[in-house]
Structure 1
Amino acid sequence: MQRNFNTFELPQDIQPSHIATNDEGLTIQWSENLHKSFYPWDFLESYLKSDKPTPEAVDINFFGVDGHEKAEMMYEKVLQEPKAIGRLTDLIRRNGFAFVTGVPTSSANATEKFLEQIAFIRQTHYGGFYDFVPDLALADTAYTNIALGAHTDTTYFTDPAGLQAFHLLSHVDTASERDSGAGLGGQSLLVDGFYAASLLKSEDPKAFEVLSQVRLPWHASGNKGITISPDKMYPVLEVDETTGRVHRLRWNNDDRGVVPFGSLYSPMEWYAAARKWNEILRRKSVEYWFQLKPGNVLIFDNWRVLHGRSAFTGVRRMCGGYINRDDFVSRWRNTNFPRAEILKRVIG
């Protein structure tokens, strides 16, 4: 059945020479013998429904103290099965993190090549793919053996890293530590920031409002010759204006500047909200602790998941890298959906 073009009104400043409709869509001849455009009905109707793009729908699975039991895949399967990267990226997209087990530890090369199957590894002031021990080669707490509370990385970038990966290649003690019987420590911590934000909004709506409204200065200035800050100030919780849900968070006191005066809320109100947020992040029911083991690569969504660790002794060799958010999501789309579905998600 042919549809009526009268329901589709073109702007007054657009005056095509000819318009034709049929069951498939709308054809416009813009000028004689020059250019002709065809628009399918589904394409037109998707844009008539709203003047704002609809956020991509993803079923998010919150996690707490128990993590996700099945959030892991075997390295050999990822290499051999064509659809494995799709399953891996979908695990991360929905659950916030995933483990890949059985990764070779004889060198860091296997880990690097594996991560590049998701997308290229992002270059930062730390370099690209990293392989380090706690020697303070760079002025960052990651290069120490002290405990680190739950935080997100690269809060000081306009576009914070999308994915982060860790692979513990080895952890050896020293002779003195063996003699004293001291444990090595170094347990890893993950916290679902989306889950924590939902608790904050439910328990203390004002604190949620403050942390989503007050914009803060973020920066990386610890290394000589490096002073990085985003294009503007950003709040701890960035809320999607169409859904009201948190879509990205920034939380790292080591990167945060001074809480500003002159905003809708005072610094005292911000600190009160931050204390409530920090209390939620430290709850036993929210913290997921586990021991990283050589051969197991952890990959997590840095826009959503906070990470940390307990203090440790001995020498740990850790490798991994950052992957851009947009490239990760593109890989997820193109390994989980047909092309027509992808285009509907992106352009309507």
Structure 2
Amino acid sequence: MNGSGVRRWSATDTFGDDRRHEIQLDDGCGGRSRYPHTWLRNNCQCPSCTSAESGFRKQVICDFRFSSAPIRLQIINNDTLYVKWDDSHESTYDLQWLLERNFNEGQERHENQQVKWTAESFSAIFRSFKYEDVIKSDETLLQWLETLAVHGISMIKSCGLEQYRVKELAGRVAFLKKTQYGETFKVEVNSDATNLAYRSTYLQLHTDLPYYEYTPGVILLHCIVQPESSGGESEVTDGLSVCDRLKETDLDSYKTLSTVPVRWIDRGHDDGYSFHNIYESPVICEDSYGNIKRINFSEHHRDSKCPVSIDKVHIWYDALEKFVKIAYNEKIISTFKMKPGDILTFDNYRVLHGRKGYQGSRLLIGGYLDWDLIKSRTRVLQSQLSNKINN
């Protein structure tokens, strides 16, 4: 280690744990990172291997030499790794570019770390943004999208009562996701509809459209009319907090809800359109790292047909009972009432939502956004605003 604390980079050819060749970078201050030969050759940044415009590989994979080895290594200007390969090809790599792609265990893989909440912390995390600011300011738009990613819920205030506001708001991100209920939909009393949301009775906690394989990621609900008297209050629970509590108190029940498939179904009609959707998935869906990527929860849309053996049904109901008790615990669930002109926005993959019964008139205009589009827009805004600051 050099005494000044200034990085003095060096590169050596070495063996990894599995005896495969790697190039190791040392910064002279105790920091090390390793890169497999094959990965480095596959990610050569020269114009013949990588498109300068898109950053995509131009190499033809069936012609790629998977056994490439370096015959010369050099650090240039303390910021670039030069490699000459055994086929005489030459590659240069920006060291910062390499560090951003290091293979160290525990490296953060998520762009935004999700923060869980309960009834006690809800008021602190429930951020509001002015509609005009989100529409006119990219900085505010980015803050809203990052809040959705981190906390899973926020309110847009002062939106007016025009029924196109949900579509206009979505247009700042990309475009609305069309479903069997249309591009936008009205949540109001409709005796002809089969969806129980179109009643004035109590609507229990649920996630929307669990019977879709590609279910919408974010829900937008614009309040147009709200009963002035009591009733119509929104209820929300952070499903991630529920799962955390269940995992801590009863790991077996958590494993049951994250492994046993459930058949979700929706059959009926809306505005002259008939539909019959079926999708099988557990209540709790994890990604390859064990993180929760989606929660499916809707008593209305859970089919009576169970795609499992009878011995698992008893265990599954025991686990569901524990999940429900946590979700409805007064220390977990939060209640508030939207005002006309509010747009409630929340993550349909994690937030369970419901509504208290009411009397009188109530009208919401709803719409959906996909997380893929939100994440894309977030990255573009982060890049644009970062460049704006640096320039």
- The reply to whether TM is greater than 0.5 is yes
Residue number among 266, 276, 286 corresponding to 1:239 in the alignment: 286
Residue 118 of structure 1 aligns with which residue?
173
Residue 295 of structure 2 aligns with which residue?
249
Asked if 1:171 corresponds to 2:226, the answer is yes
Residue 14 of structure 1 aligns with which residue?
66
Residue number among 136, 155, 162 corresponding to 2:217 in the alignment: 162
Q: Give 1:132 shift.
A: 4.5
Residue 11 of structure 2 aligns with which residue?
3
TM-score of the superposed pair, with normalisation by structure 1: 0.82
Alpha-carbon spacing, 1:150–1:132, altered in 2? closer, same or farther (3 Å): closer
Alpha-carbon spacing, 1:63–1:52, altered in 2? closer, same or farther (3 Å): closer
Alpha-carbon spacing, 1:209–1:14, altered in 2? closer, same or farther (3 Å): closer
The answer on whether the counterparts of 2:128 and 2:155 sit within 8 Å (CA) in structure 1 is yes
Alpha-carbon spacing, 1:2–1:184, altered in 2? closer, same or farther (3 Å): closer
Matches of 1:145 and 1:130, distance apart in 2: 16
Matches of 1:20 and 1:295, distance apart in 2: 65
Alpha-carbon spacing, 1:340–1:171, altered in 2? closer, same or farther (3 Å): closer
Deviation string 1:107-144 (CA, Å, 9 cap, x unpaired) is 21233212321231100111012234311453211211
CA RMSD of aligned residues (A): 3.1
Asked if 1:301 corresponds to 2:301, the answer is no
Give the SS at the match of 1:142.
helix
Structure 2 gap ranges (5+): 1-8, 15-21, 24-35, 39-63
Q: Give 1:246 shift.
A: 2.1
Residue 345 of structure 1 aligns with which residue?
none
Matches of 1:172 and 1:289, distance apart in 2: 16
Alpha-carbon spacing, 1:89–1:16, altered in 2? closer, same or farther (3 Å): same
Residue number among 112, 120, 133 corresponding to 1:58 in the alignment: 112
Q: Give 1:17 shift.
A: 10
Residue number among 190, 193, 212 corresponding to 2:236 in the alignment: 190
The answer on whether the counterparts of 2:261 and 2:308 sit within 8 Å (CA) in structure 1 is no
TM-score of the superposed pair, with normalisation by structure 2: 0.73
Q: Counterpart of 1:4 in structure 2: which amino acid?
A: T
Question: Higher mean Cα deviation, 150-159 or 136-145?
Answer: 136-145
Which of these two proteins has the greater Rg computed from alpha carbons?
2
Asked if 1:141 corresponds to 2:196, the answer is yes
Matches of 1:4 and 1:59, distance apart in 2: 35
Matches of 1:80 and 1:339, distance apart in 2: 14
Alpha-carbon spacing, 1:92–1:18, altered in 2? closer, same or farther (3 Å): closer
Deviation string 1:41-61 (CA, Å, 9 cap, x unpaired) is 455566662699963153333
Q: Tell me: higher relative CO, structure 1 or 2? Use CA pairs within 8 A at least 6 residues apart.
A: 1
Residue number among 243, 255, 268 corresponding to 1:209 in the alignment: 255
Deviation string 1:261-280 (CA, Å, 9 cap, x unpaired) is 239x6100000000111111
Give the SS at the match of 2:365.
strand
Residue number among 129, 136, 157 corresponding to 2:184 in the alignment: 129
Q: Counterpart of 1:171 in structure 2: which amino acid?
A: Q
Deviation string 1:202-227 (CA, Å, 9 cap, x unpaired) is 11111111101111122222236412
Matches of 2:191 and 2:332, distance apart in 1: 30
Give the SS at the match of 1:332.
helix
Q: Give 1:239 shift.
A: 2.2
Q: Give 1:193 shift.
A: 0.4
Matches of 1:53 and 1:135, distance apart in 2: 50
Structure 1 gap ranges (5+): 174-182, 342-348
The answer on whether the counterparts of 1:65 and 1:285 sit within 8 Å (CA) in structure 2 is yes
Residue 87 of structure 1 aligns with which residue?
143
The answer on whether the counterparts of 1:19 and 1:26 sit within 8 Å (CA) in structure 2 is no
Asked if 1:218 corresponds to 2:264, the answer is yes
Count of paired positions = 325
Matches of 2:218 and 2:234, distance apart in 1: 17
